Amino acid sequence: MLRGLPCAFVLLILLSITSSSAEEVSSIESLLARPILEADTPLKEVREFTKARVPKVQAPATAEAWVRRAAEIRQEMFDRVVFRGEAAKWRSAKPKVEWLATLEGGAGYKIRKLRYEALPGLWIPALLYVPNKLEGKVPVVLNVNGHERPLGKAVDYKQIRCINQAKRGMIALNPEWLGMGQLNGKGYSHYRMNQLDLCGTSGLAPFYLAMERGLDLLLSLENADATRVAGAGLSGGGWQTIFISSLD
C-alpha cells in the first residue's frame, strides 16, 4: 500500500515506471498476469462453506412420518424464508382484483383482462382465458411465464398454451412475471429482491405471493374445480411451477 509513503517517493516510483522500456513493461505485465489462486478456488470455498452448514435431513421411518415432516418443513420455509419479517403482514392482507375489458378470442374462447394485488400496492397484470361454454366445475390452470422481457405474457407460445387449455374446457390464467412484459422496469427487476433481504424482510415473498394470489383468484371463480388445479411454465416459469407446487 502507498498510504503513508512520502509524496516524493511515490512520484519517483511513478516516474521510473513511465520511463521503463517497452520490454520491462511487458515483463511486469506478464508477472502481474500470473494467477494467484488456483482456478475455481472461490467457488470451491463457497461450496465447502455452505455444505458444512446445511443440516442433514433425517429420513422418517414411515409414510405418515414423512407427511408430518413435509408439513413441518413447509411451515419452516414460510416462517423462516418466504414470509420472514415484514412479509408476514403482506400474506395476511386482503388482495384486490380489478376486472377490465373482455376481448373476443377465437373460436370457443374469450379473454378477460384484469389486474390483482400480489401484496399491498403491487399490482400484477393478467389475462384470463375462458371457454365460451362453461357448465359445472372445470379445471383451472396457472400459466406462469419465464424470462420474456419484451413481450412477457403476450409471447406467442404462452398465448397458444392458454388458448389450447380454454378450448379444452379449462380456465387459464396468464399473469405477468416480475421484471417481464408490462413489469419490465427497474423497480420490478429480479435483482431488487436482495435489497428487500437487506431491509430485513424476504425478497422471495413478492414472487410467491404473485403466484398464490393468482391461484386464489382462479379458485374464487364460480366454475373452478378445486380438485383439479394445475400450474405450468417454461424456463423461469418452470422454476415458478416447482416453487408454488412445493409450498402451496
Q: Which residue has the higher pLDDT, 85 or 12?
A: 85
Per-residue confidence (pLDDT) for residue 119, from 0 to 100:
93
- Domain of 10 in residue numbering reads as 1-36
Which tens digit of pLDDT belongs to each residue from 54-109?
888 888 999 999 999 999 999 999 999 999 999 999 988 888 999 999 999 889 99
Q: Indicate whether 99 and 188 sit together in one domain.
A: yes
Per-residue confidence (pLDDT) for residue 26, from 0 to 100:
76
Confirm whether 41 is domain-assigned.
no
Q: Is the pLDDT of residue 36 over 50?
A: yes
In the beta sheet, which residues pair with residue 231? Answer: 142
Q: Indicate whether 117 and 32 sit together in one domain.
A: no
Written as nine digits, the cell of 46 is 463457497
Contacts of 11 (CB under 8 A, 6+ apart): none
Q: Is the pLDDT of residue 1 over 70?
A: no
Q: Indicate whether 125 and 15 sit together in one domain.
A: no
Return the axis-axis angle of helices 63-77 and 236-247, rounded to nearest 10°: 120
Confirm whether 46 is domain-assigned.
no
Which tens digit of pLDDT belongs to each residue from 148-167?
999 999 999 999 999 999 99
Per-residue confidence (pLDDT) for residue 32, from 0 to 100:
83
Measured CA to CA, the distance from residue 183 to residue 145 in angstroms comes to 12
Q: What is the pTM of this model?
A: 0.77
Q: How many domains does the chain have?
A: 2
